[in-house]
């Protein structure tokens, strides 16, 4: 049973290197899907706002990673 668990963990790591980044992006996708049609009903602004949110999440994640590597 532990072999199966290890296999699934390694398989998951193939697709998700940083769990916090993946969770943040999934959360943003859900939030954007629910909120953007309400706040940006015109499709012209939906894509730029969605992209900006993804970019901010990525920048935040890179900044946190850099801080962790600086402390080493």
For 10-40, the DSSP string reads HHHHHH-S-HHHHHHHHHHHHHHHHHHHHH-
| Per-residue pLDDT at 57 | 95
The tally of domains found in the chain comes to 1
3 lies in a domain? no
The confidence band for 30, taking pLDDT boundaries of 50, 70 and 90, is very high
| Per-residue pLDDT at 29 | 95
Residue length of the chain: 72
5 lies in a domain? no
Calculate the average pLDDT of the chain.
85
Is the pTM of the predicted complex or chain greater than 0.85?
no
Q: Is the pLDDT of residue 12 over 80?
A: no
Domain of 39, in residue numbers = 17-71
The confidence band for 51, taking pLDDT boundaries of 50, 70 and 90, is very high
């Amino acid at each position: 049973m532990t072999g199966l668990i290890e296999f699934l963990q390694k398989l998951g790591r193939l697709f998700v290197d940083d769990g916090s980044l993946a969770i943040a992006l999934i959360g943003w996708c859900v939030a954007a899907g629910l909120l953007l049609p309400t706040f940006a009903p015109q499709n012209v602004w939906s894509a730029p706002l969605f992209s900006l949110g993804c970019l901010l999440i990525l920048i935040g994640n890179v900044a946190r990673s850099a801080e962790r590597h600086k402390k080493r």
